[in-house]
Amino acid sequence: MNVSGPCLIVDSLSQLTLPMRDFVAMLGGSLAMLVLTVVGALGLLKAANLPIRSYLPALAIGNNGNLGLQLCLFAFGQEGLCCSR
């Protein structure tokens, strides 16, 4: 998982052709989810009276974005990995 996962991601993304419109849409969705996660985590930390500086980065920025790529490639093949043609 530590070696083959990133290799699969780099190889798949290097062969991906994505229109700018789709890229901007995915970027906007990602930023919206990040903002919603930060706002939700901030509210939860204030309600629990926990130190924001210690917990907010860990709650708001998860390192799980690439986990689904391998599953999509395995389950659906190359077509399942690409969002459009």
Q: Domain extents for the chain?
A: 4-14+21-81
How many CB atoms within 10 Å of residue 77? 10
First-last CA distance in the chain: 29
Task: Quote the Cα angle for 15-19-23, to 5°.
Answer: 90
CA distance 42 to 51: 10
Amino acid at 49: N
Per-residue pLDDT of the chain (85 residues; tens, 9 = 90+): 678 878 887 887 788 787 889 888 988 998 999 999 999 999 999 999 999 998 998 888 776 666 677 777 777 777 777 664 4
User: Whole-model pTM?
Assistant: 0.56
